[in-house]
């Protein structure tokens, strides 16, 4: 297969939602339809101890939530599908924001009963800013929930999207009869008995046909006819170009847990979703069709296999072909590197691949060379932009709870911070270590992983701070900067990359500091160097 043919068959997308909307279940079912797994693990069902395929960290199985972004790939209808399943929980939002830099399109999952929730709004806002094409999947139709038209209105108003339904439910909850697939003009009937089997749709283009009354009942048939008439009048007709330009968002209805409506979503997605897209670097736009390799690290994961202390850097390939054992330039370190065992993923299963193409995600074994945001090229000096570190909102001192294991603690903290789980700051005054996170749940994850993966124990002490700001002086030798450092020395620290940061206990402190020392700028975001 030629390079361009390989490019055309790639689809790389992320699944985002509020926690509990059924995102991980949908991921599972997409794999099931893709033939990649034989049986879905009911995510929260303790009878099946397998857990979901994409939740492979021990703590995720215990808590029933996804805390790491996992990468899954499978072939469906000769298309290579790469899924990035992201954490829905707001405490892990930073990981999700970074993952959105590596996808070409997104599926947003919405719970029929809860509608649009806060976390979904934030994530969709990021997609809109980056003009990422979006498909909406309204899940859990077998439960009682909001009216379908009310939900479509809510999606339009709260998320600022312009939607067009490509499937529509027949009833809901106890009265849920199935779905009319507008995209393929098919009728899919729901039966709660055959949850694990896949129902084939009945071709049904003429809705005035009296057969419809016999199949779903007269009342349901008349309601469906009226609703579809309304849809054709009110909503714009689907236009692929508008979808690809992020100006129109198709909507599907279904029940992922019951395998319902997922195949319709997948069939349509493989036809309409974008192939790998160009990406902006600091010097130029890199086109995915270019022959020379470029790619960037959007995630680092330590201990994919706890028996082996391995770290994997996840690289999204932007252009060219990534070949095993070929030399590539690590731009930040300015050194050539070869990779003898690049991995492709299927949750925690990995296999060595000889070549990968734009849109693919490759896992590279890393001994500490990579940071999030690093770029690999065939020699060109460029960096991909927009993979920042955000100012944390929670701060705690970290103390060693077992003095015999201080080396393990140092190593564990260093590796977990490289993953971007949280940020580590060292106070200038006394060298104490402070962990800053976006959400409080991350402290539990860090503590758990330090103990179970590194054999180190830590305890925390609260540090009541409002924000941490990266310090950017106009002139490091100026008297004003020296004065700032002298007066604020108790609140100064260095981040993991040696950059100076300032701990502020309130928004007022930040304002006062800015007005007193105008030549010392304070930033809430650190773009990685």
Annotated domain spans of the chain? 3-272, 279-377, 388-527
Residue 115 gets the label, from left (phi > 0), alpha (psi -120 to 50) or beta, of: left
* Mean pLDDT of the region 327-351: 80
Q: Give the largest CA-CA distance in the chain.
A: 87
pLDDT digits (tens, 9 = 90+) for 238-256: 999 999 998 999 999 988 8
| Per-residue confidence (pLDDT) for residue 193, from 0 to 100 | 58
CA 298 to CA 318: how far, in whole Å?
Answer: 12
pLDDT digits (tens, 9 = 90+) for 488-512: 999 999 988 788 999 998 889 999 9
| Per-residue confidence (pLDDT) for residue 310, from 0 to 100 | 64
SS3 394: strand
CA 178 to CA 188: how far, in whole Å?
Answer: 6
| Per-residue confidence (pLDDT) for residue 307, from 0 to 100 | 52
CA 397 to CA 420: how far, in whole Å?
Answer: 18
Asked if the model's pLDDT at residue 527 lies above 70, the reply is: no
Output the CA angle 131-133-139, nearest 5 degrees: 130
| Per-residue confidence (pLDDT) for residue 501, from 0 to 100 | 92
154 against 416, higher pLDDT: 154
Q: Among 237-241, 362-366, 484-488, 502-506, which stretch is predicted with the lowest mean pLDDT?
A: 362-366
| Per-residue confidence (pLDDT) for residue 50, from 0 to 100 | 44
| Per-residue confidence (pLDDT) for residue 441, from 0 to 100 | 77
How many CA atoms lie within 13 Å of 90's alpha carbon, on the beta-carbon side? 10
Residue 84 gets the label, from left (phi > 0), alpha (psi -120 to 50) or beta, of: beta
Q: Residues 139, 94, 341, 277: is their CA dihedral positive or negative?
A: positive
Asked if the model's pLDDT at residue 385 lies above 60, the reply is: yes
| Per-residue confidence (pLDDT) for residue 406, from 0 to 100 | 87
Q: Do domains 3-272 and 388-527 have the same CATH topology?
A: no
Share of the chain above pLDDT 90, in %: 16
Asked if the model's pLDDT at residue 365 lies above 90, the reply is: no
360 against 213, higher pLDDT: 360
* Mean pLDDT of the region 172-185: 80
CATH number assigned to the domain covering 388-527? 3.30.70.3280
Strand segments, DSSP code E, in 29-113 are: 70-76, 79-85, 105-111
Residue 95: phi and psi, rounded to 5, are -60, -40
| Per-residue confidence (pLDDT) for residue 6, from 0 to 100 | 86
pLDDT digits (tens, 9 = 90+) for 24-79: 788 777 777 766 554 544 333 433 334 454 444 554 555 444 434 467 788 888 88
| Per-residue confidence (pLDDT) for residue 491, from 0 to 100 | 92
| Per-residue confidence (pLDDT) for residue 302, from 0 to 100 | 63
Pairing of strands 279-280, 294-302: unpaired
DSSP 499: -
User: Which residues make beta-bridge pairs with 328?
Assistant: 337
Give residue for tokens 């399943």: 85
CB 289 within 8 A of CB 277: no
212 against 90, higher pLDDT: 212
Asked if the model's pLDDT at residue 291 lies above 80, the reply is: yes
| Per-residue confidence (pLDDT) for residue 434, from 0 to 100 | 93
Out of 8-12, 31-35, 204-208, give the one with best mean pLDDT. Answer: 8-12
Residues in contact with 525: Cβ distance below 8 Å, sequence separation at least 6, in sequence order: 388, 389, 390, 391, 470
Band (pLDDT 50/70/90 cuts) for residue 361 is confident
Assess if CATH 3.30.390.50 describes domain 3-272.
no
What pTM, to 2 d.p., does this model score? 0.75
* Mean pLDDT of the region 429-456: 85
CB 57 within 8 A of CB 68: yes
Residue 378's CB: how many other CB atoms inside 10 A?
A: 16
DSSP 471: E
CA 308 to CA 182: how far, in whole Å?
Answer: 50
CA 267 to CA 249: how far, in whole Å?
Answer: 16
| Per-residue confidence (pLDDT) for residue 303, from 0 to 100 | 55
| Per-residue confidence (pLDDT) for residue 258, from 0 to 100 | 78
Asked if the model's pLDDT at residue 202 lies above 80, the reply is: no
Assess if CATH 3.30.559.10 describes domain 279-377.
no
Out of 108-112, 116-120, 201-205, give the one with best mean pLDDT. Answer: 108-112
CA 525 to CA 367: how far, in whole Å?
Answer: 27
Pairing of strands 322-323, 525-527: unpaired
SS3 18: coil
Asked if the model's pLDDT at residue 197 lies above 90, the reply is: no
Mean pLDDT, all residues of the chain: 80
Q: Which helix (H) or strand (E) holds 34?
A: none
355 against 307, higher pLDDT: 355
* Mean pLDDT of the region 92-101: 68
| Per-residue confidence (pLDDT) for residue 427, from 0 to 100 | 92
Residues in contact with 79: Cβ distance below 8 Å, sequence separation at least 6, in sequence order: 9, 10, 11, 270
CA 27 to CA 85: how far, in whole Å?
Answer: 7
| Per-residue confidence (pLDDT) for residue 398, from 0 to 100 | 92
- CA dihedral (239, 244, 247, 248) in degrees, to 10, reads 50
Asked if the model's pLDDT at residue 392 lies above 50, the reply is: yes
């Amino acid at each position: 297969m030629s390079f361009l043919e390989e490019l055309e068959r790639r689809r790389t997308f992320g699944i985002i939602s509020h926690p509990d909307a059924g995102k991980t279940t949908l991921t599972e079912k997409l794999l099931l339809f893709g033939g990649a797994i034989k049986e879905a693990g009911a995510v929260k069902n303790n009878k099946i101890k397998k857990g979901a395929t994409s939740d492979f960290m021990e703590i995720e199985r215990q808590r029933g939530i996804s805390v790491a972004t996992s990468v899954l790939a499978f072939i469906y209808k000769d298309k290579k599908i790469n899924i990035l399943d992201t954490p829905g929980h707001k405490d892990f939002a930073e990981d999700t924001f970074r993952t959105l830099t590596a996808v070409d399109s997104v599926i947003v999952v919405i719970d029929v009963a809860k509608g649009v929730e806060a976390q979904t709004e934030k994530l969709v806002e990021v997609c809109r800013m980056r003009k990422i094409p979006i498909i909406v999947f309204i899940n859990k139709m077998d439960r009682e929930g909001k009216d379908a038209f009310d939900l479509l209105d809510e999606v339009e108003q709260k998320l600022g999207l312009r939607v067009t339904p490509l499937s529509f439910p027949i009833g809901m909850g106890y009265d849920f009869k199935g779905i009319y697939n507008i995209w393929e003009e098919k009728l899919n009937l729901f039966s709660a008995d055959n949850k694990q089997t896949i129902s084939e749709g009945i071709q049904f283009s003429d809705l005035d046909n009296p057969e419809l009354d016999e199949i779903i009942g007269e009342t349901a048939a008349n309601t469906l006819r009226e609703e579809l008439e309304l849809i054709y009048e009110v909503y714009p007709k689907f236009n692929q170009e508008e979808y690809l330009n992020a100006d129109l968002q198709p909507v599907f209805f279904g029940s992922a847990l019951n395998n319902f409506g997922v195949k319709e979503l997948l069939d349509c997605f493989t036809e309409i979703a974008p192939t790998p897209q160009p990406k902006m670097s600091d010097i130029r736009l890199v086109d995915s069709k270019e022959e020379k390799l470029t790619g960037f690290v959007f995630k680092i994961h330590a201990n994919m296999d706890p028996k082996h202390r391995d770290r994997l850097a996840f690289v999204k390939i932007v252009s060219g072909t990534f070949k095993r054992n070929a030399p590539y330039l690590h731009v930040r370190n300015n050194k050539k590197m070869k990779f003898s065992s690049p991995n492709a993923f299927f949750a925690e299963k990995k296999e060595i691949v000889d070549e990968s193409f734009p849109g693919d995600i490759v896992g590279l074994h890393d001994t500490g060379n990579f940071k999030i945001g690093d770029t690999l090229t065939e020699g060109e000096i460029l960096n991909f932009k927009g993979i920042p570190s955000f100012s944390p909102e929670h701060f705690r001192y970290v103390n060693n709870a077992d003095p015999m294991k201080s080396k393990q603690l140092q190593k564990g903290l260093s590796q977990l911070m490289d993953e971007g789980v949280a940020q580590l700051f060292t106070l200038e005054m006394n060298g104490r270590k402070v962990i800053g996170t976006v959400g409080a749940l991350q402290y539990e994850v860090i503590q758990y992983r330090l103990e179970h993966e590194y054999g180190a124990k830590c305890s925390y002490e609260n540090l009541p701070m409002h924000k941490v700001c990266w310090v950017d002086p106009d002139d490091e030798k100026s008297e004003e900067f020296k004065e700032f450092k002298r007066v604020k020395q108790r609140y100064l620290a260095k981040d993991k990359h040696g950059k100076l940061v300032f701990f502020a206990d309130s928004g007022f402190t930040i304002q006062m500091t800015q007005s007193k020392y105008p030549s010392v700028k304070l930033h809430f975001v650190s773009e990685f160097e």
